[in-house]
Amino acid sequence: MQAVENIQKVLSELDPCKLKVLALSSVGVGGLLCYLAWRRQPKKIPFGDGWWRVGEKPFAEDRTIRPFVVETSEDVIQDLYERIDRMRYTDSLEDARFHYGFNSTHLKKVASYWRHEFDWGKQVKVLNKYPHFKTNIEGLDVHFIHVKPVQRAGQKVLPLMLVHGWPGSFFEFYKIIPMLTKTDGDFVFEVICPSIPGYGYSEASQVQGFTAIAAARIFHKLMDRLEFTDYYIQGGDWGAFITTIMALIKPECVRGLHLNMVNARAGGVKAVISLLLGRYFPFLVGFTREDVCRMYPFMQKNVYELLRESGYMHIQATKPDTAGCGLNDSPVGLAAYILEKFSSWTDFKNRNLEDGGLERKYSLDDLLTNIMIYWTTGSIIPSMRFYKENMGYDFQKIMTNTTKVSVPTGFAAFPHELMHCPWVWASSRFRDLRSFTYMPRGGHFAAFEEPELLAQDVQQFVKKVESRRSK
């Protein structure tokens, strides 16, 4: 009471004009603080809803989860062999290596192995070693694998969704899954790995407009159907976009977000200044020495490199059905189109090799298994359409720095990723960046290429998040 009386005495002795100024100042400061607090509030994308079939949405949704088994008829295999046998090749230019795309001399060897040695029946058994399921969400049969952990006494089980990209599939995660579902730490993961609708065994939309936002919403609905209320999510390529949107749609459900590709950059003039100064004065713009080493060899010939590696994207973002017709008709053409990406996106230096360096990091069996998922499901065209659907204004606006991500985030920066994102750019968009690791090796297909490194980084990120949650 004495403190209150002292304040009242001071206020009574103040000049009325000064009192008015003090009041206005308080209102101004309060208003500024409220504005700053509002600016700090995480922005959420509306959850929305969708229906991706032709016709009316039914009143009641079928929520059943059905077991699924990968299988292929002998007729499909015989048709594949006949198409491989009928392939017309064009001779490569002298010493072309992979600078013109997939070298046709090496392509003949890959096709011969596919035709005469590759055992699809054996690979189907590999695919079926994990439990597969389908469930209908927003009119689409969504495929996923669900792997329960090998839990030791005292271990906490944490749900983790892994999301692939293009031209990959759920199969990219087959080597990393056992590293996550059986661990020696305080926690172990229960892994859910869906196929993006239009890819592999997940049904494609029948109508226009199916974007990464729709995929993110469907995957949240999938986790809800599996009775998970909060969970970790991880992705690269389209998987990185989808999981980032998941964190923006329902941040309350995302325990943590781990990425091996980040879409974040300084905007406008700030980006130009960062790039101009970063080469010679990195400390002025927040770049580390490692950022400089990873960015500028590429930046010095940036325009040419982007042209060399983004032609597919221009095609798929404009006329996917036209190019897709040929790929859906020719298995060898499909293999050339997809495997060329596994060559150059693993390491640009692979373009200098006669065989594209494909078997330096992958086996032909694994690469062809991924191709067979596309071929046997006829999903190459819908997977390509995903680019056209996503390249609209709304998607670009959502995925820029204007929409901040508030959930705990970890980033594994692989040295041969298509574009390096410095920590300072990533932290400007991801407000709670708990982990940023400069990985020692690896490229775009992290889980497929370096599963052990990626698994270790996911585990150390989750350990940091769980440690703070327990405190």
Residue 57 lies in a domain: no
Q: Which of 396, 102, 422 is nearest to 271 (CA)?
A: 422
Can you list the positions of beta strands (E) in 89-147? 132-137, 140-147
pLDDT tens string 259-297 = 999 876 655 556 666 666 666 666 666 677 777 777 776
324 pLDDT more than 50: yes
34 pLDDT more than 80: no
Residue 316 identity: Q
pLDDT tens string 372-381 = 999 999 999 9
**Encoded tokens for 445:** 């297909």
DSSP-derived 3-state class of residue 166: coil
pLDDT at 299: 54
Q: What is the 3-state secondary structure (H, E, C) of 213-266?
A: HHHHHHHHHHHHHCCCCCEEEEECCHHHHHHHHHHHHCHHHEEEEEECCCCCCC
- Residues contacting residue 243 through CB under 8 Å, at least 6 positions apart: 161, 163, 216, 233, 234, 235, 257, 259
Residue 458 lies in a domain: yes
Can you list the positions of beta strands (E) in 335-468? 409-413, 433-438
Residue 362 lies in a domain: yes
C-alpha distance from residue 345 to each of 227, 353, 418, 444 (Å): 37, 14, 7, 6
Residue 233's DSSP bridge partners are 161, 257
Looking at the chain, the whole-number percentage of residues with pLDDT higher than 90 is 70
Mean of pLDDT over the chain? 88
Mean pLDDT value across residues 229-253: 96
- Is residue 295 within 8 A of residue 266, CB to CB? The reply is no
pLDDT at 19: 45
What's the rounded Cα separation, in Å, for the pair 92 and 104?
6
- Is residue 389 within 8 A of residue 320, CB to CB? The reply is no
Residue 409 lies in a domain: yes
What's the rounded Cα separation, in Å, for the pair 121 and 119?
5
93 pLDDT more than 60: yes
pLDDT at 362: 97
pLDDT tens string 386-417 = 999 998 756 666 655 568 899 999 999 999 99
29 pLDDT more than 60: no
pLDDT at 292: 74
Mean pLDDT value across residues 19-29: 48
- The model's confidence at residue 425, banded by pLDDT at 50, 70 and 90, is confident
**How many domains does one find in the chain?**
1
Residue 13 lies in a domain: no
Residue 438's DSSP bridge partners are 413
What's the rounded Cα separation, in Å, for the pair 23 and 290?
51
DSSP tag of 143: E
- Is residue 352 within 8 A of residue 135, CB to CB? The reply is no
pLDDT tens string 36-75 = 444 455 567 778 899 999 999 998 889 999 999 999 999 9
pLDDT tens string 149-177 = 988 888 999 999 999 999 999 999 999 99
pLDDT at 23: 47
Residue 1 lies in a domain: no
DSSP tag of 156: E
- Is residue 371 within 8 A of residue 334, CB to CB? The reply is yes
Residue 3 lies in a domain: no
Q: Which of 243, 273, 271 is nearest to 259 (CA)?
A: 243
pLDDT at 22: 45
Residue predicted with more confidence, 39 or 221: 221
Q: Could you give the residue numbers annotated as active site?
A: 237, 387, 444
First vs last Cα of the chain: how many Å apart?
37
CATH, residue 178: 3.40.50.1820
218 pLDDT more than 70: yes
Host domain of residue 121:
65-470
What's the rounded Cα separation, in Å, for the pair 313 and 219?
24
What value, to the nearest 5°, has the Cα angle with vertex 156 and ends 152 and 160?
Answer: 110
Residue predicted with more confidence, 256 or 427: 256
Residue predicted with more confidence, 455 or 280: 455
pLDDT at 245: 94
pLDDT at 273: 66
pLDDT tens string 329-364 = 999 999 999 999 999 999 999 999 999 999 999 999
Looking at the chain, the whole-number percentage of residues with pLDDT higher than 70 is 82
Residue 50 lies in a domain: no
- Is residue 193 within 8 A of residue 144, CB to CB? The reply is yes
DSSP letters, 435-460, are EEEE-SS-BS-HHHH-HHHHHHHHHH
140 pLDDT more than 60: yes
